[in-house]
Structure 1
Amino acid sequence: MDKVLSFISLILFSVVFVCCKKESFLGKTKSTDLDEKTVFADSAYTMNFLNGIYSDIGFSVHPDRFDGGGLDAASDESEGVASGSVNTYIQFATGTVNPAIITDDAWRISYTNIRRANIYLKHLAGANFSKELKTRTKAEARFLRAWYYFILLEHYGGVPLMGDSVYSADDNVPRVRNTFEECVNYIVSECDTAAKYLDWVRVAENYGRVSKAACKSLKSRVLLYAASPLFNGGQVADRAELKPITGYLSADPARWKLAEDAALEVMNSNNYSLLIDNTTEPGFGFYQVFTLRKSPELIFARMQGPNRELEGLWQPPTRGVSNPAAYPYLELAEAFGMSNGLPITDPASGYDAAHPYSNRDPRFNNTFIRDQTLIVRRPEITKFPVNIYIDATDPGRVSSGQDAIYKGTPTGFYTNKMLNRDVVSDWFNTNTNRCFPLIRYAEILLNFAEARNERLSAPDVEVYKAVEEIRKRAGLNPYNLQTGLNTSSMRAIIQNERRLELAFEGHRFFDVRRWKIAEMTENRQMHGTEPTKTAAGTTFRTIAVRKHIFEKRMYLWPIPLSEVSKSTQLLQNPGY
């Protein structure tokens, strides 16, 4: 377990320096032993301290979390690596979640940065900044604090709120968990307050910093969670004292309207839009948006300079990957429909099981590396097919190489989401300008569609428009939905569109929980596909990969035992 203590354990003060590069205000960090007085007496040190709070904003959704596939592998999206070890993804996949050994990163890193934000706000008045810079950076710090509280909320439910206090080791640190409602109200209030002092879009040297749009988008997300079945009167608490901590005591459909209105604030600003390019090729905009540092739909991201970090996690072994992340399941692949917008289960879709990759939703090939996908390889930097098949034409029936099923991937797939087609993980001369996305405009459209659909008796033209905008950008032809859908049918479509559009961006794990459907999606046998090359062509056989087990207690994370052991006031989540 990491020996860096959580906020509740009161970490020692440290300042984080950020190397300011031309590509980004956020670069590599290093710790110094400077004290608070020194840091906040110097404008450069002060700004670097704030930049340090930004450095962890993407930790919870990054695919290398848990050293084996992150939330992707802890859900029904992917099979992780190091499956023989005991890590957090294995615990969620096998139903063995244990507060004694689960990672404490969500608790520790979030509270560490909440404390840093409070330190920054405490000293800001005396900083050597202009009045305008003090106002702007105060708003940034308040948003960042709210951001880390949301990470705590989605993992644990209600948590102790620290206000603006900076506690010392001798102080009586609050350990009583605030109610879920109090936490939601606090995050929303902080977002609204911060938004008053920020521009909708940040430009030039401030690009990548918190904007008004980021504030309103986080508000949209937290209110969507608050309106969802798990928290909107549907808690799984086993004790009365836990019920207000894990959600609202009673359901209120009006909460959907709050979520809808929050998304509308971003949409009606007219500052963001989907990146649509179906001329270069169908769905090219969906590919391109993840390779650009700037785009019309990137609202909030973990900024970084030119990189190939995801290529180094998701490309096949022949591209030099030695520490991979996760491998997609067949169930996710089959959730993608055909290019005509119909699901593969529809007899009119044209799906052919003998040729499963033909005429699929264009997002399919931009999400999966499958058998015979063309990707670049050094030193030629030329595209070669990935050979995942077993070669049955060989007398020894050997697999086709290190990328093959059972050798390189246990599922028959690698992840292609967000990868640059011209970048090789082990070739130093290739990079992409990607920044890791945390909030995209596509999410806002889906937030709006879901909330509006749930509050109406039937989906109206505005719900259709938001969902069809996503499908249009995807390159579906036609992208229009069937008319006359009821709320339930539209709900299923919206949930599937979120699954496809936002795959591997950290949403699926929490989406199935807030929808309260994890008992179905996370409690079943997961599969892969075994391609076999024969003289007549390639055949595909479905294979069992892992039986996932889900228990109701797993709707929320357990608070680490190291924390609840410190005080009886810090109540553990239900079932742990």
Structure 2
Amino acid sequence: MIKRCIPVFILMAAALIYSSCRKEGFLTATTTTNLDEKSVFGDSSRTVGFLANIYSNVGLSASLSRFSYNYIVCGGLEAACDEAEPSHAFSTPATQFATGTVNSGIIGEEPYKTCYSQIRAVNVLLKNIDNAPLRQAYKTQMIAEAHFLRAWFYAILVQHYAGVPLVGDTLLSYDKPIVAKRSTYEECVNYILSELDAAGNILPVTQTGLNYGRASKGACLALKARVLLYAASPLFNGTTLPADAGPGGGVSVDPSLVGYPTADNNRWKLAEEAAQAVITLGTYTLNTKNDYQTSSPGYGFQGLFPQRVNTEYIFQLMRPTGNSDFENMFLPPSRGSNGTGSFPYQGLVDAFPMKNGKLITDPSSGYDPNDPYKNRDPRLDYSIIHDQTVLLVRTSNGQTNGSAPVNIYVGNYNGVSTGQDAVHQGTLTGYYNNKMLDPEAIAATINHGSDRVQPLMRYAEMLLNYAEAANEYEGPTGNVYAAVEAIRERAGLDPYQLPTGLSQSEMRTYIQNERRIELAYEGHRFWDVRRWKIAPQTENIQSAGMEVDRNNGTVSYKPFNVTKHNFRAAMYLWPFPLSETGKSSELVQNPGY
């Protein structure tokens, strides 16, 4: 049976009441206590706050602080794959997936518990919304938002587990347990799509002003495009997972629970059309604005993430103004961070091409292993801090104290010896994450934080979704080239054009690498290597870092081993927690667990 969720009065106690603050709108919160359904849905602001509380959980899967141990943050999904090393080696899902030790007995109840608790909250709202003292038009919009959110949390569940129990409008409770029979993968996909279609027919194309951050028609179309892209991918489209991974828990797994038993190339067409629907809205564009260094190549990519509102974000996790938690997790110690995030691997660094668009493995690229960061894709510096990256230095009161390089080297350089930022001291890999950080923000501060929100779906992903689906269905057409080249042009590559005459396979390689670097640290890579079924190659690796040795006038770059990663076929999907499968034999465990 599905884990029986917390009583409704506890959900009400946790509901957030949102003010009409012009700066933060739907996000500004206070907490209520000791409220029942009648108290919440008998009050307009409490009703809106109840919905807003559901929104506060939408960043679950992509959270960069998702995994922790005794309140020590150990990173997010980037630390569970070939992107980054977790800051600590505690036993969290990040290290369990990286090292191949994950099983149903040690995996946590999140996201299973969190998603179903939010689905229950949606059902509570749908049951009670008619009683709320709100205008009917506003109720109609809230109902549509609730359907989007239900689809969102089911999409997260399917991403992790494939087919899951569909509970419809049922309210789970302590005194009415629900038999947790898994629905097929196809049934789950169809249900999510139906929820999105229903919501998208009502919601506005975008949300602006105080409604910024709420679900929109654009968000419905974007999630539909993502779900259909996953459904068309090799892992699910004609799945062989039960045979690959073996039976789970001694029970044969019906292939329809973990994908479509029969492959259908037309699923790529559906994914292509869904992504095209987002593009043809004409509402979203790649960001080309940067308030910091307007003349720098790739400035649109760099300047995207500190912006609270921009033309590229389709759906985002709203965050309070003045936030600096990303800086606190990821900046080098010399800039005031606590180093509890994750550290990029050398493999991710190597994935960024040269500024001329050629991979560093191309002999004609101009790559110099003795000067490895010179003339690289501008996104490298905007995503990763390496030795001698220049960052602002700020005092505790927020004043700028000039700029200075980050000294990650070992040895002595220009009279300066190894310091707190050095490899093996401040960083486990020789690198720090720079993705989504605000160059104006100071770690662990409020007065000098960022207005940033966290993107969960953005236009760049839709272009890449379209390119992938269209390439798989039609081959490398002109539209496929245009979508990928738009990403590369914004990135500052010169020339940004792809080689002409690419085969479908060659274009696939370019698209997959563009996803790896453009969407790094945004919660995509972990899933991408699985749905493409390339995880046996990308995850069975010896991860590496870079030690820069500077002594007087000489410098050398020495790769070193970090963590040995292991992958087995069961790890294409997450195991259901043993605490859940133990309650009902109808909740069939995933293959290999």
TM-score, normalization: structure 2?
A: 0.93
The separation in 1 between residues aligned to 2:148 and 2:364, in whole angstroms, is 48
Structure 1 equivalent of residue 460 of structure 2: 442
Cα deviation for residue 152 of structure 1 reads: 0.4
1:326 equivalent to 2:342? Answer yes
Could you tell me which of 302, 321, 331 is aligned with 1:315?
A: 331
Q: Partner of 2:381: helix, strand, or coil?
A: coil
The separation in 1 between residues aligned to 2:494 and 2:117, in whole angstroms, is 48
Letter in 1 for 2:34: D
1:542 equivalent to 2:559? Answer yes
Q: Partner of 1:540: helix, strand, or coil?
A: strand
Contact 2:286–2:460 at 8 Å: present in 1 too? yes
Structure 2 equivalent of residue 402 of structure 1: 420
Letter in 1 for 2:106: I
Letter in 2 for 1:298: Y
Moved more, 12-21 or 312-321: 12-21
Cα deviation for residue 103 of structure 1 reads: 1.8
Could you tell me which of 248, 263, 274 is aligned with 2:286?
A: 274
1:512 equivalent to 2:513? Answer no
Structure 2 equivalent of residue 475 of structure 1: 492
Q: Partner of 1:191: helix, strand, or coil?
A: helix
Moved more, 402-411 or 25-34: 25-34
The separation in 2 between residues aligned to 1:465 and 1:305, in whole angstroms, is 36
Structure 2 vs 1, CA of residues 338 and 29 (structure 1 numbering), >3 Å: closer, same or farther?
Answer: farther
The separation in 1 between residues aligned to 2:181 and 2:58, in whole angstroms, is 25
Cα deviation for residue 349 of structure 1 reads: 1.1
Could you tell me which of 67, 72, 75 is aligned with 2:81?
A: 75
Could you tell me which of 295, 302, 326 is aligned with 2:310?
A: 295
The separation in 2 between residues aligned to 1:519 and 1:31, in whole angstroms, is 48
Contact 1:140–1:194 at 8 Å: present in 2 too? yes
Contact 1:420–1:432 at 8 Å: present in 2 too? yes
Could you tell me which of 537, 562, 568 is aligned with 1:551?
A: 568
Task: Give deviations 1:425-445, integer Å, cap 9, x for gaps.
Answer: 045432221101000000000
The separation in 2 between residues aligned to 1:168 and 1:22, in whole angstroms, is 38
Task: Give deviations 1:38-78, integer Å, cap 9, x for gaps.
Answer: 11111111110010100110022111111201101001000
Cα deviation for residue 10 of structure 1 reads: 2.2
Letter in 1 for 2:236: F
Letter in 1 for 2:17: V
Letter in 2 for 1:121: L
Alignment of 1:136-151 (within 5 A): 136-151=141-156
Cα deviation for residue 393 of structure 1 reads: 6.5
Alignment of 1:495-506 (within 5 A): 495-506=512-523
Q: Partner of 1:65: helix, strand, or coil?
A: coil
Cα deviation for residue 558 of structure 1 reads: 0.4
Alignment of 1:424-463 (within 5 A): 424-456=442-474, 458-463=475-480
Contact 2:224–2:274 at 8 Å: present in 1 too? yes
Backbone CA RMSD of aligned residues: 1.7
Letter in 2 for 1:269: L
Alignment of 1:198-217 (within 5 A): 198-217=203-222
Contact 1:303–1:436 at 8 Å: present in 2 too? yes
1:57 equivalent to 2:58? Answer yes
Structure 1 equivalent of residue 404 of structure 2: 384
Structure 2 vs 1, CA of residues 555 and 39 (structure 1 numbering), >3 Å: closer, same or farther?
Answer: same
TM-score, normalization: structure 1?
A: 0.96
Structure 2 equivalent of residue 248 of structure 1: 260
Structure 2 equivalent of residue 37 of structure 1: 38
Letter in 1 for 2:6: I
The separation in 1 between residues aligned to 2:449 and 2:523, in whole angstroms, is 23
Cα deviation for residue 281 of structure 1 reads: 1.2
Structure 2 vs 1, CA of residues 27 and 107 (structure 1 numbering), >3 Å: closer, same or farther?
Answer: farther
Contact 1:100–1:560 at 8 Å: present in 2 too? yes
Letter in 2 for 1:450: E
Could you tell me which of 4, 13, 25 is aligned with 1:9?
A: 4
Structure 2 equivalent of residue 86 of structure 1: 91
Q: Partner of 1:93: helix, strand, or coil?
A: helix
Contact 2:2–2:180 at 8 Å: present in 1 too? no
Task: Give deviations 1:465-496, integer Å, cap 9, x for gaps.
Answer: 00000000101011000010011000000000
The separation in 2 between residues aligned to 1:444 and 1:341, in whole angstroms, is 21
The separation in 2 between residues aligned to 1:244 and 1:492, in whole angstroms, is 29
Structure 1 equivalent of residue 71 of structure 2: none
The separation in 2 between residues aligned to 1:305 and 1:459, in whole angstroms, is 42
Task: Give deviations 1:258-311, integer Å, cap 9, x for gaps.
Answer: 001111111011000101259621100001110101111100000122211211
Task: Give deviations 1:146-182, integer Å, cap 9, x for gaps.
Answer: 1000110000010000101113322240300000000
Contact 2:414–2:552 at 8 Å: present in 1 too? no
Query: How many correspondences in the alignment?
Result: 567
The separation in 2 between residues aligned to 1:406 and 1:159, in whole angstroms, is 43
Task: Give deviations 1:117-137, integer Å, cap 9, x for gaps.
Answer: 000001112221111101111
Letter in 2 for 1:566: K
The separation in 1 between residues aligned to 2:87 and 2:346, in whole angstroms, is 16
Moved more, 403-412 or 530-539: 530-539
Structure 2 equivalent of residue 304 of structure 1: 319
Unaligned 5+ runs, structure 2: 69-73
Structure 2 equivalent of residue 261 of structure 1: 273
Cα deviation for residue 201 of structure 1 reads: 1.1
Structure 2 equivalent of residue 23 of structure 1: 23
Contact 1:23–1:304 at 8 Å: present in 2 too? no
Contact 1:235–1:246 at 8 Å: present in 2 too? no
The separation in 1 between residues aligned to 2:219 and 2:385, in whole angstroms, is 32
Letter in 2 for 1:574: P
Structure 2 vs 1, CA of residues 345 and 65 (structure 1 numbering), >3 Å: closer, same or farther?
Answer: same
Q: Partner of 2:457: helix, strand, or coil?
A: strand
The separation in 2 between residues aligned to 1:444 and 1:174, in whole angstroms, is 37
Cα deviation for residue 345 of structure 1 reads: 1.0
Structure 2 equivalent of residue 367 of structure 1: 383
Contact 1:277–1:473 at 8 Å: present in 2 too? no
1:97 equivalent to 2:102? Answer yes
Contact 1:7–1:115 at 8 Å: present in 2 too? no
Unaligned 5+ runs, structure 1: 1-5
Cα deviation for residue 499 of structure 1 reads: 0.2
Q: Partner of 1:163: helix, strand, or coil?
A: coil
Structure 2 vs 1, CA of residues 18 and 356 (structure 1 numbering), >3 Å: closer, same or farther?
Answer: farther
Q: Partner of 1:376: helix, strand, or coil?
A: strand
Cα deviation for residue 394 of structure 1 reads: 10
Moved more, 96-105 or 473-482: 96-105
Contact 1:316–1:408 at 8 Å: present in 2 too? yes
Cα deviation for residue 378 of structure 1 reads: 2.8
Contact 1:7–1:112 at 8 Å: present in 2 too? no
Cα deviation for residue 323 of structure 1 reads: 4.7
Structure 2 equivalent of residue 528 of structure 1: 545
Percentage identity across aligned positions? 49
Q: Partner of 1:366: helix, strand, or coil?
A: helix
Moved more, 214-223 or 318-327: 318-327
Cα deviation for residue 234 of structure 1 reads: 2.4
